[in-house]
Structure 1
C-alpha cells in the first residue's frame, strides 16, 4: 500500500477527533453523537511478545494493518490485552475504535485468596488509568470466557459479584467509558444486569442455529445492546472459499437480527497464545504475510452494505390512532418523519379529539382521517381500510419509533411467513421520575413469547400485520374501545393456524404515564378490558378469572411471587454441556395467590372480621392473619421494586423516594385492576353457563348418557367436539391432565362444577356406542369456606353467641345451596354438549390447551380514554 493511499483513508486529524463525543448506549444500540454506531470489526492479536514484552507488532506494521482495515470498511478493533499508546494513536488516525480487553487470571481459582482478588481489582484499575481515557477507546472488556469449570466451582453468585466489582473498578477510573464482559454459550446463564451492553463469542456454522441462538440471546439480555465479540471459521480445515462463504452469511444475519455489530476472528492468521505460536488454526482474513484471503473481500462487501442491504422492501402503511393525544403525538410524527425506510406512508386517524390535535398533525406530510369518537378498534380499522401497504404497522400516539424500526420489521416479514411481527417498547430516559417508576411498575405493555421468536401476544403500541390477514379475520373488534383489542386480535390470528413473530431490534420508545392519578385510571381501564376479553374468550381464563398464557411474559415491572421457582442450570455430565442454559421451576399455585387482585378482597374481609372482634372476642384471630396477608403483598412489592434500574438516578434520598413510589405502584396496580374487573363483572363468583337451573336435579350428583353411532370416530375427536360446543356457548371448559381420570370439566363459578369421562364400545363394522358419565364436584376453596363457616358456628355456640351462630348457619346454607345450583348448571352444560354429538358437525373444534396461570398480564393503549 502506498503512502498516498494511506493518507486518503484517514478520516480526520487526531486533534479534531479528540473533541468528539464518547460512544454511549441508547436502547438496543450504541450511539456516536446522534448516530448509531454499528461495529464492523476484527480481532487483533494476541501476538508473540518482543524482547520488551510488548504483545503487538511494531508501529509500522500496525500502520499497514490499520490502513488495510479502514480501506476494507472495518471501523473497530478488538484487542485482548491493553494496547500501547502508539496503537491507540494509529487507530485514532484511521478512524478505528478499540475494544480493550483487560486480562487477569480468570482461568485460575482466583477467589480462593482474598488478597489475590484485591490485586486483580487493583491491577485492572491501573490498566485503565494508564490508557488515560484515550479517544480511540470504544469500551473495556473486564473478562473473556471465564471457563465453565471455574464458574461451576464457585457458583454463579460469586462470579457475578466479582464481575460487578471489576465493573465498578473500571467505572471509578473512567466513568464515561462503556464496560462489558465477553460471555460464551457455556456460561450463558450468568446474570449481569449492571453491564452497559452484552457480548458473546458465538461459533455456529449453520444459519438456522445462528438465527435461533441470536434470538435467544436477545431475550436473555432484555433491553440492552447485543454484540457478537467473536465469529469466524478456520480456513485451514474448511478451505478459504468456505471461510468466505460462511462469514458472508454470518455477518448478514448478525446485522439483520438487530445486533450492534460483530468482531470477526481474526485479522491475521498470526496468533500467539500460552507461550507458543498457534500454527494449526488459520482464522485470519489475511495470512501471516498479510496477503488477503477471499474472506477479506466477502467481509468488506457485507460491511459496506451493513446494517441493511439494498433489497426490495415492501410498502408499509404506518397507522397512528389518536384521541386527544396532542401532548405526545408530535414526538410520534417527528419520529416517523425520520424513519430510515424508502417506501412507506403514514395514516393518522383522529378519533373525535377535542384538543388541538388537528393543528399539530396538519404540520406533517401524512394522510389525516377524522371521525367521530368511536373507540380505538374502530380507529384502527379505519386506518386498515385506508392503507395501501401490504403490511400495516401500528404505533400509539404516545410512542415514537427507532429510525430503523420499519427496516427490522420488513426483514422479519421477508424472511418468514408470519402473519404479524412485534417488537419491544422502551421507556425514554428523560420522561421524569414518576414515569421512571411507572416503567418499573406492573401494568405496562409487554410481549408474551412461546419461543424465542414466536409470540402469543404483541402490544398494540408496536405491532405490524399483513393487511390481507387483518382483512381475513375481520380487523379489530369494535367492542374494545380503549384496551384489549390487540390481545383479541392476536388470539384470532393464532386461531387461524398462523404465527406471530417477534424481532428484538424492531423497537419503539413509549412514554409511560407521568402521574399517579393517570396510572390509576389506566389500570382501572385495563380491568374493564380484561372483563371484556373474558366474556369473549372464557377458555383463556382460569377459575379465578385470570389469563392463562401459554408463553412467557417479557417486560419490566412484573410483580414476582416471594417464593420464586428454583433456578436449575443444565451443566451436562461433569459440566460438559456446550450450551449451559437456565431452567426455572415455576412456583406452586399458592405462591401466586398474593399476586391476584382478589387477594385484597381477602384482606378486606379479614379487616372487617378484626373490627367485629369488638362485638365477639374470638374474631381476634383474624387480626394476625390480616397482618400476615399485608406483609406478604408489601414484601413482594418491595422485592419487585428493588429490581428497578436506579443506576442513572443520583442521590440516596432520591433513590429512596423512587423505591418507595415504585413499591406503592406495585401495591396500587392490583387494586385498580380489581376495581375495573369487579365493576364490569369479572369476579371469582361470576357465572359462565348456558345450562338451565334445575331444582329437581339438585341432588343428581352423577349422570350417564349414551349415543349410538353407525360411523366410527376416535374418542379424541368426539371429546374435541364436546369441548367446542361448551366453548361456543361461553362455558368455562378445561381438559383433564395426563394424570387425571376425567376428560372434561365444566364450571360456571369458582366454587363448583362438573366433570365427565367418555368410553367407547366398539360393535364391529364401524358401529359404536358412546358412553358419557358426568358428576358434580366442589372446589377445595368451597370445602374450606364451608368448614370455616361451620367452625365459626361451633365457636359461636361455645361462646353463647347464638345470634351469630344463626347468621353463620344461614350463610352456610345459602352457600351450599349456591354451590348445588351451580353444580346443576354445570351438569346441564355437559349434558347439552354431549347431546350435540348427534347433531351435524358445524365447525371443527378448537384445539384449546389450558396451562398454569400467569397472573400479571399487562396492557397499554396510548392516550385513549379508559372509561
Structure 2
C-alpha cells in the first residue's frame, strides 16, 4: 500500500546553495556557516549504467527525484559513484548536498599490486580535484566496507597506512572539503581517526542493541563527528509498515545518540549491482516508479523532529549550569555567551565568583540571565558546593570558565539520566579550531583534558 503525501509537502524548495555555505566539522557535529547542519540523507544508486557507463538516471528523473527528496526534508544525497557536475548543479538548485563515494578495487588484494595502488591514489585525487570545490559537495567517501578477508590478508596496519595516505593526498587536493571512509562492524577495529568524519553502515533491527552500538561507536569516533551512513529495512521481508517503523527508528536512534546525521538506505527500489538489477530487495523510501511508500513519510517525520521532538523536550527536567570562576576575565564572556545560546528548553546559569581580583564579577553581572554569587576565595571545591546549594534544577551541570559549550551540550548531557539509573554523565573536551597553539598542543598531549 502506498502512502499519499500532501500536495503542499511536495512543493519545490528553491534554496540554492552557495560556496559560502560549505559544511565544516564543528566538534562532534557539522555546521554550515554559523548554523548546525544535521545530515538528513538518503542513498542514491547504484543505477544501471547508460551507454557511456554513467550510473545515474536521466537528468529529468534526477531533477524529479531531488525535488521529491527536498519536499520530504532530506538535505543530503549519498552516491556510490562520482556524479557529473550537472547532477551537482541540480542538487544545489534543490538545496541538497552530496556525499560522493569514490569506488576503487577494494574487494581484491589491492596492496599487493603497486601499479593498482598508484592508480587508486591518482584517480581518487583527480576526481576530488575535479569536484571538490562545487558548493553541493558535502564530503567524499574514500572507500566503503573493505571486506574483512582483505583486511585480514593485508593486516590492519597496512590498510590503515594506505587509507591515511589516500586521505592526505585527497585533502591536499581540496583542503576545505570533508573526507570520510565508511566502515562497518566487521572491521570496526581499524584506526581511521585521521578522517574528518567517522562513518559507519549499521543494520540492527532491535532498538536497544542499535543504541548500545551507536554509543560504542561514539567512543570509536572520539572527538570527531559520527555519521550513520547507511541504515534501513527491506519492505519485501518486513512489509511496508515494518520497513517504515524500522527505518524511522534507525534515524531517531542515530540523532538521539548524538550522531551528526543519518542516511536512510535507500531512496528508491530501483537498484543495480554486479551487472544485474536487484529485484529481491526493496529498501527504497519510494518504489521504482517513485511512488512514496510508508517509509517515506515515517523518515520525513523523523528528520523533521531531529534530534529530539518538542514533545520529548517538554518532559525534560530543569538543569542548573554552574560555573566556578577565579580571575577568569579573559575567557568568561565567551563562556557565558555560549551558555546563553543553549538549545535546552529549561535551565538556569549560576556563576560563582571565587574571590576574583580581576573583572570576573563585572563581566558576569553584564549577563542578565546569569545569577552571580560573589564569595571570598576558598577554592574550587568550596565554590562548587556553593553553586550546588544555590541550584534550583533537578540536575546540576558543572563546566569551567575557560570553556565554550556546544549549543546542544545540556541536551545530550541529560539523556543518560532519562533512560537509565546513572548518577553522573560527561563528555569529551574538544578544543575549538580558533584556540591558541598551546591549547591545541595540551589537548593532544598524553593525559590531556579529553
TM-score calculated relative to the size of structure 2: 0.94
d(CA) in 2 for partners of 1:376, 1:407: 26
| 1:362 pairs with 2:365 | yes
How far off its partner does 1:6 sit?
10
2:341 paired with 1:316: no
1:5 CA displacement? 7.2
C-alpha separation in 1, matches of 2:149 and 2:245: 34
How far apart, in 2, do the equivalents of 1:254 and 1:443 lie? 30
Task: Tell me: CA distance 1:139–1:361, structure 2 relative to 1, closer, same or farther (3 Å).
Answer: same
Distance 1:129 1:19 in 2: 16
Task: Choose the corresponding residue for 1:9, options 7, 12, 30.
Answer: 12
Greater CA drift, 72-81 or 127-136: 127-136
Which residue of the partner structure matches residue 342 of structure 2?
A: 339
Tell me if the contact between 2:91 and 2:98 (Cα under 8 Å) persists in the aligned partners.
yes
Could you say if the C-alpha distance between residues 165 and 303 of structure 1 is closer, same or farther in structure 2, counting changes exceeding 3 Å?
A: same
State the alpha-carbon separation in 1 of the partners of residues 85 and 384 from structure 2: 58
Per-residue deviation, 1:110? 1.3
Kept in 2: contact 1:203–1:231 (CA 8 A): yes
Q: Is 2:432 aligned against 1:403?
A: no
Cα pair distance change 1:301/1:7, threshold 3 Å: closer
Deviations 1:696-724 (A, max 9, x none): xxxxxxxxxxxxxxxxxxxxxxxxxxxxx
Task: Report Cα offsets for 1:547-596 as digits up to 9, x if no partner.
Answer: xxxxxxxx4xxxxxxxxxxxxxxxxxxxxxxxxxxxxxxxxxxxxxxxxx
- For residues 17-32 of structure 1, what are the structure 2 equivalents within 5 Å? 17-32=17-32
SS, match of residue 11 in structure 1: coil
Work out whether residues 321 and 376 of structure 1, in 8 Å CA contact, stay in contact via their aligned partners in 2. yes
2:350 aligns to what SS in structure 1? strand
Alignment of 1:789-804 (within 5 A): none
Q: How does 1:451-850 map to 2 (within 5 A)?
A: 555=450
| Pair 1:443–1:82, CA change in 2 (3 A) | closer
Assess, with a 3 A threshold, how the Cα gap between structure 1 residues 19 and 155 changes in structure 2: closer, same or farther. Answer: closer
> Are 2:202 and 1:202 equivalent residues in the alignment?
yes
Cα 1:342–1:160, aligned 2, differ >3 Å: closer, same or farther? same
User: Residues 8 and 232 of structure 1: is their aligned pair in 2 closer, same or farther, counting only changes over 3 Å?
Assistant: closer
Superposition deviation, residue 19 in structure 1: 3.7
RMSD of aligned Cα (Å): 1.9
Distance 1:57 1:427 in 2: 43
Distance 2:317 2:12 in 1: 36
- Cα distance between partner residues in 2 of 1:380 and 1:167: 45
CA distance in structure 2 between the partners assigned to 1:247 and 1:221 by the alignment: 23
Which ranges in structure 2 are unaligned for 5 or more consecutive residues? none
Secondary structure at 1:400 match in 2: coil
- Identify the residue that residue 419 of structure 1 maps to in structure 2: 423
SS in structure 1 at match of 2:180: strand
After TM superposition, the structure 1 = structure 2 runs for residues 387-402 of structure 1, keeping only pairs within 5 Å, are 387-402=391-406
**1:31 positional shift:** 1.3
Counterpart of 2:404 in 1: which secondary structure? strand
Say whether residues 1:300 and 2:303 are aligned partners: no
C-alpha deviation, 1:324, in angstroms: 1.8
Query: 429, 433, 436: which is aligned to 1:432?
Result: 436
1:133-166, Cα deviation, whole Å (9 max, x unpaired): 2111111111010111111111011111111222
Partner-residue secondary structure (3-state), 2:363:
helix
Residue pairs, 1:210-359, within 5 angstroms:
210-310=210-310, 311=312, 312=314, 313-359=316-362
CA distance in 2 between counterparts of 1:126 and 1:351 reads: 57
Measure how far apart 1:442 and its partner are. Answer: 4.3
Alpha carbons of 1:332 and 1:281: their partners in 2 closer, same or farther (altered >3 Å)?
same
Q: What is residue 731 of structure 1 aligned with on the other side?
A: none
Quote the Cα distance in structure 1 between the aligned partners of 2:137 and 2:390: 50
Q: Pick from 371, 375, 389: which aligns with 1:371? A: 375
CA distance in 1, matches of 2:47, 2:435: 48
Distance 2:134 2:173 in 1: 12
Q: Describe the shift of the 1:24–1:185 C-alpha distance in structure 2 as closer, same or farther (beyond 3 A).
A: same
Q: Per the alignment, do residues 59 and 319 of structure 1 end up closer, same or farther by CA in structure 2, a change over 3 Å counting?
A: same
In the aligned structure 2, how far is the partner of 1:7 from the partner of 1:284? Answer: 18
Distance 1:12 1:40 in 2: 16
Alignment match, 1:565 = none
Q: CA deviation at 1:400?
A: 2.1
For 1:241 and 1:174, the matched residues in 2 are separated by 43
Structure-1 separation of matches of 2:444 and 2:52 = 53
* DSSP-derived class of the 2:112 partner: coil
What does residue range 34-53 of structure 1 map to in structure 2 within 5 Å?
34-53=34-53
**Partner residue, 1:138:** 138
Determine helix, strand or coil for the equivalent of 2:425: strand
Question: Separation in 2 of the partners of 1:217 and 1:5?
Answer: 38
Check 1:88–1:360 CA distance in 2 against 1; reply closer, same or farther (3 A cut).
same
SS at structure 2 position matched to 1:180 = strand
Are the structure 2 counterparts of residues 6 and 384 from structure 1 closer, same or farther at C-alpha, using a change threshold of 3 Å? closer
Instruction: Report how far residue 132 of structure 1 moved.
Output: 5.6
Q: Is the 8 A contact 2:73 2:304 kept in 1?
A: yes
1:108-119 equivalence runs, <5 A: 108-119=108-119
Q: Which runs of 5+ in 1 are unaligned?
A: 446-554, 556-867
Higher relative contact order (CA 8 A, sep 6+): 2
1:193 CA displacement? 2.3
Mapped contact 1:317–1:347 kept (Cα < 8 A): yes
Within 1, Cα distance between the matches of 2:416 and 2:64? 40
1:480-528 CA-partner distances (Å, limit 9, x unpaired):
xxxxxxxxxxxxxxxxxxxxxxxxxxxxxxxxxxxxxxxxxxxxxxxxx
1:124-135 equivalence runs, <5 A = 124-131=124-131, 133-135=133-135
Bigger CA drift: 98-107 or 346-355?
346-355
- Do the aligned residues in 1 keep the contact of 2:132 with 2:177 (CA within 8 Å)? no
Look up the SS of the partner of 2:392 in the other structure: coil
Runs of 4+ in 1 over 4 A off after TM superposition: 4-8
Q: How far has the Cα of 1:410 moved from its partner?
A: 2.6
Paired with 1:140 and 1:279, the residues of 2 have a C-alpha distance of 29
- Partner SS for 1:401: coil
Indicate conservation of the 8 Å contact 1:6/1:67, yes or no. Answer: no
1:352-373 CA-to-partner distances (Å, cap 9, x unmatched) read: 2222211111100211111222
Distance (Å, rounded) in 2 between the aligned partners of 1:182 and 1:443: 29
- Shift in CA distance, 438/338, structure 1 to aligned 2, threshold 3 Å: same
The 8 Å contact of residues 11 and 71 in structure 2, kept in 1 or not, is answered as no
- For 1:174 and 1:442, the matched residues in 2 are separated by 31
Work out the CA distance in 2 between the residues paired with 1:223 and 1:273: 35
